[in-house]
Structures are given as structure tokens and as C-alpha cells.
Chain A
Amino acid sequence: MAKLDTNEKSMPEGAEEPGRRDFMVVATYAMMGLGAASVAWPLIDQLNPAADTLALANIEVDISKIAVGQSITVKWRGKPVFIRHRTTDEIARANATDLMDLRDPQMDKARAEKPEYLVLVGVCTHLGCVPLGQKTGEVKGDYDGWFCPCHGSHYDTSGRIRKGPAPTNLEVPPYDFLSDTVIRIG
């Protein structure tokens, strides 16, 4: 567009003319940019989860079979979800913890809808490994919750980070109790 000065030379009364020309050039580029952006959006947005993927985004789980002190792991959105039926001792210890001792302070009440059942996304908040502690006999870490073997993060009986490199507590997924024995995650 800079080359339009050819015209300026042959246009003695020039001053006002190039202004008008510049406006048209800028307007043209602006419209082309707008057009390109509005075409780019669908091409990028198609990378997001499709409608059928979103439709699978919630699951229902029967929790009546989990004995006190036991945990189950279910798959939700391609990730493990831990459901632990906690013992009264575990609940008591989670409640007794001083918030000042926590890296990511959060009350146990805020993390479990019913204190007996703790529902967590089983993905370490450090770099995404699955922590140990679900099966009997697995290491549960220094705080009797979960232990991530990848880089050594320890979580307590409320799934809160206590020691190691992970920055935040294990995430609590959105869930509801559909009845006393069935929860819907997602």
C-alpha cells in the first residue's frame, strides 16, 4: 500500500486525496482481518469436545456396596474418580486438622457433601499421575490418605495436600446424591 505514492506525485492537490485512499486501504485490511478471524474460530472450536463427548460427561454410581474403610475407583471423563467410604476415625482426623497446617486451606466439610463419602478426582495436582492408596496394601503416605509415587506428594484423609510438590488439594468433582445409595458425578 505504501506504493500508492505514485499517485501522490501525479496529484498536485494531493493532501486530502491520500487520506481518503488510506482510509479505504485500512478499511479493506480491517474487513479482511475480521473475515479471517470469523473463519478461524470454527476451525479452532472444532477441536473442543463434540456434542457426543459432552453427552457422556456425567455418570451414575451405586455406592451401597462400598464397605466402611474401602474405596472404589470409577472412570469419569477419561479420568479416575476415587470414592472412599471413610471410617469415623478418618473423618475425625480430617476435621481435627488445623487449617494453618495446610498448603491449600480448606475445611473437610467443604469437601464432602456427606462426611462418610469422600469423592475426589484421582489425579495428582502436581503433574497428573494417579496417586496410590485406593487398594488395601497400597502406600497411603504420611497422612493416611493418598501418596503420589511420581514425585512424592502426600494427601490426607480429606485428599488435601500435606507434603510434596503438588500445589493444591485433590479436586472434588461436581456431584449430587440422587438417593442415599446413588450419586451422579458431572
Chain B
Amino acid sequence: MSANQFKSPVVRWIDHRLPVFSMLHHTAHDYPTPKNLNYMWNFGSLAGLSLAIMIVTGIVLAMSYTAHVDYAFSSVERIMRDVNHGWMIRYIHMNTASFFFIVVYLHMFRGLYYGSYKAPRELLWILGVVIFLLMMATAFMGYVLPWGQMSFWGATVITNLFSAIPYVGESIVTLLWGGFSVDNATLNRFFSLHYLMPFIIAGVVVLHIVALHRFGSNNPIGIDTRGPQDTISFHPYYTIKDVFGIAVFLLLLAVVVFFFPNAMGHPDNYIPANAMQTPAHIVPEWYFLPFYAILRAVPDKLGGVLLMFGAIAVLFILPWLDKSPVRSARFRPLFRIFFWIFFVNAIALGYLGGKPAEGIYVILSRVATAWYFIHFLIILPILSTFETTKPLPKSIAEPVLGGFSSTPKQAYAAPRRS
């Protein structure tokens, strides 16, 4: 795209010297995209929107929030009662955090199902896992800020994970706290980092997009695009589809923000932090529950911590565990079955993470934890050698257009509007 394609002379003048418009045009306008993407490809743009909502509402909250153990809780209550629209802005921030995780989990499962992590998109996948880790750290520190009981005890438990490290563990925990318990110093640094990390996430998102545009999107049948007959321009076809997804997302978000704002939260966090008393049943935010279940499944402090981090570490090496050259689960009958078992198992881990660590729940947690790792470390490598895959279509245009080869123009014109 050369600069003189723009109508406005001002845009042309700027673009000649600073090609931002060409770059945008290239990324979001005539970027060739597989024509067969389904709705599972909407979650990337939704994640971007979620990040934007978090940053905007977060900056606004920070204008009225006080990061001090004596004032944090009441400053959040002041946001809820006194600051104009403060209740709404805070509920949007809280619930968009949950929606962000829902969207990102679906985005990740999409990648798992359609083999989007495979060559040449390994780095794209790895950058995604980095974003996921950063999101978890950001959300964890954000949850500490209102300084309720769950904030305080969540912070205590999670920072204490590091005490499992042999020899240096205790010193690391003291370093994290800036004291001998979770206290004012901890709250201050968490606020500072909670403000910083979303911007780091935004930076990694840019890299994620650069990596994506190197080879373009994967697609539901997982074969490479072979030319213009397989693709359509991003705008208007996928911009309008993304806008539709955004409308549905915002509608659901509004329902939760205005009618069930605390459904995904925990009532104990409306009790001010008390260092002298732990709540009877402490649970992390729902999006951490699968990992929390893995942590508790192991009857050994260091072992539990290692497995929990290991559950994310396997995601980094996934592209080298699943060596099957076929990407999409559509053409891998066995993988497809195991994918759904894995999916159910992941939900089960989430459920178990929210249950008390006793009786049958412990046993089930252990089985589910074992399966999580068996899936990645044993099933996937074995499947990649032994599975008989179904024949792949010759091109994307073939299954989409029922076999007859077509020009892009015919493809657009096919569905006549009434």
C-alpha cells in the first residue's frame, strides 16, 4: 500500500513522512484473511477490547484509590458510594477482569483445538502464554488492592508459595513483602506493579500481532492459504464480524455489571483485611481455580508449587510435544476425543479448586491433575506418531465453495441480499 492511495492530502502528507496510516491500513484493512474463519476467531479482538476497558477503567479508579493499609478499603467504598458513577466504573473493572479471562481461555482452547500453536506459529503461541502469565500476575495484584479479607489472605497465601523454594525461599518472601508479613509496603508495590503490568501486556500484544501477521491466521481446517481464492480482505468482512462479536460481548458484560455485579466475586472481600483472622474458607478468584486445584492436589509443599507452575510451563513447550503435521482437530479423530476429555478435565479442576481440600475432592483433584499432565506429556506425543488422520482438503476454497474453483469476486457476490 503506497501513500498516494489515501484520499485526504493531509493523510498523504503525514503518511509519506510517518507511515502510520499505511501500517494501520495494512494491518486492519487489506490484510488477507482466510475466508473460512468461524466465531472462535472473534476472541482475539475481544481480548484486546477487554485490555482496553481494563486500562481505561483502571486509570479512572486509580484517581480515587489510596494505596495505604489504613485507607485502601475505605477509598474503594468511597468509590462505590460517593464518586460519580464510581460504582459502575469499579463494577466494570471487576467484571471485565473475569470476562477477560473467559475470553482468553476460549482463545486458548481455540488454539488447542485447531492446532494454532504448530509451526510456523510457535512464537505466536508462546507470546500468548507470556500474556496469560502477565494477566494472572496483574489480576492477582489487583485483587489485593481493595484490602478486604480475601485480598489480604490471597496475598499471604500466594506470596508464601515462594517460601517453598529450598534455602532462599524465606528471603524471597521477605523481599516480596518488604517486611515480615503482607503489609503497607506490600500494598504499595502491588499498586505500582498493577498499574505498570497492563502496559507491558499491551506491548507483548503488539509483538503477538506482529507474529500473527507474519503468516496470517490459522483457520478451522488448519491448512495454509494458497492465494487470493482462499482469502478475503480483513475490512469490511472481519471488521464487521468482530464488531458483531463485540456487541454480543458488551451486552453480556452489561447484564453482569448491572444485574449480577458480585456474582463472580467473593463476599468476604467486603470485610476489611484483618491480619489476626483468616476466613474459614479461602478461595482465589474463579479464573485461578484450576491451578489452585493442582497446587492442593500434591501433599508436598514444594511439589505442589512446582506442579502448579509446571501446568503453565507445559504450554510453552506444547509446539514440540504435539508433532502431528495436521493442525485442525477436524482431521484428527483421536485427538479430537482427547481434546474434549482434556476440556472436561480442565473444567473439573476448576470445580475442585473451589471445593474444600478434604475427602473425595482431594482424590478427584489428584486424578484430574495427573490427567492434565498425561494429556500433554504422554497422549499428545503418542498421538502424533500413531494417529491415522483424515485426508486434508486441497485448499480452503474447495470445502467452502463445494469444490468449484472460483474467483474472489464470485465468492463475495454469492449470497444475494434480499
Contact = CB atoms under 8 A, between A and B. Distances in A.
Interface of A: 1, 3-4, 6-7, 9-11, 17, 28, 32, 42-43, 45-48, 50-53
5 contacts: A6-B412, A45-B84, A50-B64, A50-B83, A50-B84
A53 B83 CA distance: 9
Given A46-B85, A52-B82, A1 B56 contact: no
B165 interface: no
B88 interface: yes
A42 B85 contact: yes
B89 A43 contact: yes
B409 interface: yes
A153 B84 CA distance: 38
Interface in B349-383: none
Given A6-B409, A10-B412, A10-B413, A46 B86 contact: yes
B253 to A, nearest CB: 12
Contacts of A28: 243
B76 to A, nearest CB: 13
* Shortest Cβ-Cβ A-B pairs, 8 listed: A42-B85, A51-B82, A50-B82, A52-B82, A10-B413, A50-B83, A45-B84, A46-B84
Interface of B is mostly: helix
Q: Which of B56, B83, B236 has its CB near the most chain A CB atoms (within 10 A)?
A: B83
A54 to B, nearest CB: 9
B260 to A, nearest CB: 20
B412 A7 contact: yes
Interface string B196-237: 000000000000000000000000000000000000010110
B81 interface: yes
A132 to B, nearest CB: 35
Contact of A50 (B86, B235, B243): B86
B263 interface: no
Q: Which of A3, A10, A28, A50 has its CB near the most chain B CB atoms (within 10 A)?
A: A50
A3 B86 CA distance: 42
A118 B86 CA distance: 39
B63 A43 contact: no
B78 interface: yes
Given A46-B60, A47-B63, A1 B89 contact: no
Contact of A46 (B83, B235, B243, B413): B83
Contacts of B412: 6-7, 10
Contact of B89 (A4, A9, A46, A48): A46
A45 B413 contact: no
B233 A3 contact: yes
A18 to B, nearest CB: 12
A9 B64 CA distance: 56
Interface in B135-189: none
Given A50-B78, A51-B82, A52-B78, A43 B56 contact: yes
Interface string B47-62: 0000000001100100
Contacts of A1: 236
Given A3-B233, A50-B82, 7 more contacts: A10-B409, A45-B85, A46-B60, A46-B86, A50-B64, A50-B86, A53-B82
A42 B89 contact: yes
A12 to B, nearest CB: 11
B36 to A, nearest CB: 19
Interface in B374-418: 409, 412-413, 417
B52 to A, nearest CB: 11
Nearest to A11: B413
Contacts of A17: 417
B236 A3 contact: yes
A19 to B, nearest CB: 13
Interface in B224-276: 233, 235-236, 243
Contacts of A7: 412-413
Nearest to B59: A43
A42 B233 CA distance: 36
Q: Which of A10, A43, A53 has its CB near the most chain B CB atoms (within 10 A)?
A: A43
Interface string B86-110: 1011000000000000000000000
Nearest to A41: B85
Nearest to B410: A10
B63 A46 contact: yes
Interface string B68-86: 0000000000100111111
B154 to A, nearest CB: 27
B236 A43 contact: no
A163 to B, nearest CB: 42
Contacts of B409: 6, 9-10
Nearest to A48: B84
Nearest to A17: B417
Contacts of B64: 46, 50
